[in-house]
Structure 1
Amino acid sequence: MERCKKIGFRLFQGHFFAHPEIVSGRRLSASQAGLIQLINLASGDSETVRIEEGIKHEPALAINLLRIVNSVGHGLSRRTTSLRHAITLLGRRQLQGWLQLLLMTPAGKTPDASRSPLLQVAALRGRMMEMLIGQSHPRDGKLADQAFITGIMSMMPAALGLPMNEIFEQITLEPEVMEALSSHAGMLGKTLALLECFDADDGQGCDVLLGQLHNVDLDRGTLNTCLMDSLRWVNGNTEGD
């Protein structure tokens, strides 16, 4: 990758970028620390006014939030200019996921999966986790939300260069998500392990995990379908940004 970069290549993708370069005790930048504070506010029971106050200290973040909420996809009859209203419209779960993607973005840039291999992997894994859980537990919206967060968070060691246990000390997560990330426990953990085998082209590992999920309507065909749909979703999210 470094040789290709030196001779002029500018676009890269692949599982290589999901491999973390861990430096225990690494200090986070001021912008990363600010994002982590906002993630913790969004994932907890903090009042909207506290989240709003935190975003006000990051003008670029505030502008991007208003841009997202005022996009055509939200179908608003008039533009939203209030940060508090924008936070309410976007929702805590969506805000948390967006902030976590921002945490993987180089300073001064906006999250664009078409230009960042790591963001592409993170967004793709989050979406696939969400879709697989939606397939196996169609009536459990909370579990699907947790699945998306789990998928994104699985890329945090690569994004921050920190071991997962140090990330847990800084970012507030629900116990089910932490257990899935640390020991592949529960439905979320087994689904994450399944995707990791799928990403690594480990067919035997996929079959073993699919066997462990025998009470769930998942198979190789479901994985391939979710991959295609998730790729469309990731590419659709980057068009026109």
Structure 2
Amino acid sequence: MSLPEASPFPLVGLKAVTNAQHEWVALAFDIVADPGGALNALQAVFSYPDMQAALAPLDCIVTAPDLAVTDPAQLRSLPSSMVMFRVPLSACTAGSQKKCKQLAEQGYRLLVEGEGGIHAGQAGIRSMAFDCSENVPSELAMLTMPGPHLALNVDTQARRDAAKAAGMAWFCGDYARHPDPDAAQGDGTSRKRLLALLGLLARDADSRELEILLKQDPALSYHLLKVVNSAAFALSTPIHSFGQAINVLGRRQLQRWLQLLLYARQQDDGGANPLLPLAAVRAAQMEALVKLRGGDRDQQDMAFVTGVFSLLDVLLGMPMTEIVAALSLDLDVVMALLDRAGPYGELLKVVEQDRPDSSALRDLELDHETWWRSLLQAYHWAIQVSRNL
């Protein structure tokens, strides 16, 4: 395969924004464009076929082009019902307030980067985006705008808790991947049962064996039946037994849903598990990239497994070496999970990044548009998974 030619399509990264219940409410865009080409890059991304439908109903948070040189009328091609603009503190100054107001009048919601105070309100800005990696904003700063306010760089559970206590409603960061080490990861019996189920799935066990183990886990059983009876399958007759569920889904789909359902357990605070959609994105994008590169169905399945299992060490609070030792996985999958090596490991290293650089994609013979297509497919599927679970 020859190296891809330079792509005119911008390099795009996405990062999920969650609410207090760990549910996805928006996606933060990281779009790399040539100097002076931010507007063209935005228009290329938002005019991409089926883009808006794929990411609905989530809001899309993008950095506004330089308001000093951009006419708000130029942004009308972007859907105001979907797009939220991040603007710098300088947008609150007298010179830029008028343009911010025009955007607000067009229906766009604006977030100011930092404590804009009363000047932000005068510019039609209703929300704040604040770097909470070390500090949280003052209570007074949030009182001047109705919100929702976005906490950025929330990379630990402690920082998320601090931002939430300060009054922030939306959160963006890696806190899901770095849970509180003192938090309970589930009792030993639960972990052993999960590993046993994973082992059965890995060796394509008999449906009866799966059914026996599922009955021992009420939460997993509930979620499986909920999935099968969801609108995604549009069944005329409700499914009430595991045997029926297995028959309806088919073994390949059953394996995929169960692999994801392992992440579906409710958190102690009553919210969803923030690892679930992240695992879904990784799995779906790994599969999409392998398919786009010409991989067969077995290779796509192994790519999916690699992505969905890549967060099991975080979920179970166990070393990946112990998890892999309990499962019967293909050697390429094992290499990817343990060392990020081999064909799937190289892909996983890129998929784990919120936005890889162009050289990393070139090394894998991927262009920017192929990357965006796989990302769009993955986030669309993860959004649907989260809604059905």
Task: Report the TM-score, using the length of structure 1 for normalisation.
Answer: 0.78
1:181-220 to 2 correspondences below 5 Å: 181-196=337-352, 198-199=353-354, 201-203=355-357, 206-211=358-363, 213-214=364-365, 218-220=366-368
Over residues 42-66 of structure 1, what are the superposed CA-to-partner deviations in whole Å (9 max), with x where a residue is unaligned? 2214211111111122234323322
> Hey, what does 1:229 align to over in structure 2?
377
Counterpart check, 1:79 vs 2:238: yes
1:1-241 to 2 correspondences below 5 Å: 1=159, 2-9=161-168, 11-19=170-178, 28-106=187-265, 115-137=272-294, 140-196=296-352, 198-199=353-354, 201-203=355-357, 206-211=358-363, 213-214=364-365, 218-239=366-387
Question: What is the CA–CA distance in structure 2 between the aligned matches of 1:96 and 1:239, rounded to whole Å?
Answer: 19
| Deviation, structure 1 residue 133 | 1.0
Question: What is the CA–CA distance in structure 2 between the aligned matches of 1:83 and 1:149, rounded to whole Å?
Answer: 22
Q: Which amino acid letter does the alignment assign opposite residue 386 of structure 2?
A: T
Q: Is the 8 A contact 1:105 1:119 kept in 2?
A: yes
Task: Identify the range of structure 1 (93-102 vs 160-169) with the bigger mean alpha-carbon deviation.
Answer: 93-102
Question: What is the CA–CA distance in structure 2 between the aligned matches of 1:75 and 1:27, rounded to whole Å?
Answer: 34
Question: What is the CA–CA distance in structure 2 between the aligned matches of 1:161 and 1:108, rounded to whole Å?
Answer: 14
Q: Secondary structure at the match of 2:253?
A: helix
Q: Is the 8 A contact 2:227 2:388 kept in 1?
A: no
Relative to structure 1, the CA distance from residue 231 to residue 81 in structure 2 (aligned partners, 3 Å threshold; closer, same or farther) is same
Question: What is the CA–CA distance in structure 1 between the aligned matches of 2:335 and 2:287, rounded to whole Å?
Answer: 17
Q: Could you list the runs of 5+ residues in structure 1 that have no partner in the other structure?
A: none
Relative to structure 1, the CA distance from residue 118 to residue 195 in structure 2 (aligned partners, 3 Å threshold; closer, same or farther) is same
Relative to structure 1, the CA distance from residue 228 to residue 209 in structure 2 (aligned partners, 3 Å threshold; closer, same or farther) is closer
Relative to structure 1, the CA distance from residue 13 to residue 56 in structure 2 (aligned partners, 3 Å threshold; closer, same or farther) is same
Q: Secondary structure at the match of 2:220?
A: helix
Q: Could you list the runs of 5+ residues in structure 2 that have no partner in the other structure?
A: 1-158
- CA-atom RMSD in angstroms: 3.1
| Deviation, structure 1 residue 234 | 1.8
The percent identity for this pair of structures is: 35
| Deviation, structure 1 residue 231 | 1.9
Q: As a proportion of its length, which structure holds more helix?
A: 1
Task: Identify the range of structure 1 (169-178 vs 26-35) with the bigger mean alpha-carbon deviation.
Answer: 26-35
Question: What is the CA–CA distance in structure 1 between the aligned matches of 2:220 and 2:191, rounded to whole Å?
Answer: 12
Q: Is the 8 A contact 2:313 2:319 kept in 1?
A: yes
Question: What is the CA–CA distance in structure 1 between the aligned matches of 2:264 and 2:169, rounded to whole Å?
Answer: 16
Q: Is the 8 A contact 2:176 2:274 kept in 1?
A: yes
Q: Is the 8 A contact 2:313 2:320 kept in 1?
A: yes
Question: What is the CA–CA distance in structure 1 between the aligned matches of 2:222 and 2:308, rounded to whole Å?
Answer: 23
* Rg larger for: 2
Q: Which amino acid letter does the alignment assign opposite residue 18 of structure 1?
A: R
Q: Is the 8 A contact 1:18 1:118 kept in 2?
A: yes
Q: Which amino acid letter does the alignment assign opposite residue 219 of structure 1?
A: D
Task: Report the TM-score, using the length of structure 2 for normalisation.
Answer: 0.51
Q: As a proportion of its length, which structure holds more strand?
A: 2
